[in-house]
Amino acid sequence: MSRGYNFSAGPAALPEEVLAEVQAELLEWNGARASVMEVSHRGKAFTAMAEEAEQDLRDLLSVPTGYRVLFLQGGATQHFAQIPMNFARPGQHADYVLTGDWGEKAAKEAAPSVDVNIAASAAASNYDRIPAREDWTLDRSAAYVHITPNETIRGVEFHGIPDVGEVPLVGDVSSTILSRPLDVSRYALLYAGAQKNIGPSGLVVMIVRDDFLERCPARLPRIMNYAEHAAQRSMLNTPNSFGWYLAGRVFKWLKRQGGVEAMAARNRAKAELLYGCIDDSGWYRNPVEPTARSWMNVPFTLPDADLDAAFLAEADAAGLMALKGHRAVGGMRASIYNAMPLAGVEALVDFMRDFARRNG
């Protein structure tokens, strides 16, 4: 076995313990004489597992009553487009707060269905901060306010939930969900592509308030209509059954780790270790304002981009994988989601110090 420490931004590392469990029951799941991928999603065994996964997620995030949990498909990107179709009435506009590339994409995909108002944007400073709340131009008549609580590419994270008054708040939590406690009650809708902190790509988890779902217009095709998905318990059509199962395994693993409070303590320690290494080096650099630095995605640059190739090759040879930064930022990016153990970040920091010593 030669599994390395995988710092990929997504699809990202999964807990090894979970992968081993899946491997052990891949050929025959739960006495079904077949794999979980080969049984009906409407059968008793699968629906019981699916309901348990939902309950485990509800427990982990303390989802209040009055919210539906949906297991959908299409990736977060499809829902960039689908959310305005469901929640904006004709003539309404929607407010988008841009703190990075994913928020930009969400606004672009929304534009054919709703008038998009960019209520705030940190584009002018190259997405290195969260724009001050008092500078946002929110409108009380907006259909909703959309934020990206963690921007995966720039490594910019909200460390609190902004007050947006009575307007429903929508959050794309793809790269931060389950990394720390989350006050679901502050949101009308949360959604996440699974491939960062939950499971395999292609699965989307959505948490949506009942009264918000009442807005979904009947004129939409059923497959696009979230209220229909909720009414059919996410089984309007064949769900991503393997993804749902794997997500359920990850939720059980998280419970065994002590839940999101325990994950938050670990994730904070991992992030502090890595940012400390960068700041103390005087050699590596992270451009994000310290108050907005992400616990999940840590971009950093070397003083000379000509050293990047050597850094990546030597890191890879040392078992530290997928550290190449996003093309929009350059340099490196270490994604340190829930499944990355502290030992992985310690190994990275040791390598970084050694590399700086040899090349600085």
Ligand X SMILES: *Cc1c(COP(=O)(O)O)cnc(C)c1O
Residues that bind ligand X (CB under 6 A): 10, 75-77, 102, 148, 152, 172, 174-175, 193, 196, 201
Q: Cβ 174 to ligand X, closest distance in Å?
A: 4
Residue closer to ligand X by CB (options 78, 92) is: 78
Residue closer to ligand X by CB (options 47, 201) is: 201
Q: Cβ 172 to ligand X, closest distance in Å?
A: 5
Residue closer to ligand X by CB (options 266, 333) is: 333
Catalytic option among 29, 102, 244, 283: 102
Residue closer to ligand X by CB (options 198, 277) is: 198
Catalytic option among 196, 253, 270, 324: 196
102: annotated active-site residue: yes
252: annotated active-site residue: no
Q: Which residue is nearest to ligand X (CB)?
A: 75
196: annotated active-site residue: yes
Q: Cβ 127 to ligand X, closest distance in Å?
A: 13
Strands 156-157 and 297-300: unpaired
C-alpha angle 155-166-190 in degrees, rounded to nearest 5: 40
Q: Cβ 173 to ligand X, closest distance in Å?
A: 8
C-alpha to C-alpha distance for 358 and 356, rounded to whole angstroms:
5
Q: Cβ 25 to ligand X, closest distance in Å?
A: 26
Residue closer to ligand X by CB (options 4, 75) is: 75
Long-range contacts of 253-257 (CB under 8 A, 24+ apart): 253/15, 253/17, 253/18, 254/60, 254/178, 254/338, 255/56, 255/59, 255/60
Catalytic option among 29, 128, 172, 270: 172
Q: Count CB neighbours of 142 within 10 A.
A: 21
Length of the chain: 360
Question: Known catalytic residues?
Answer: 102, 172, 196
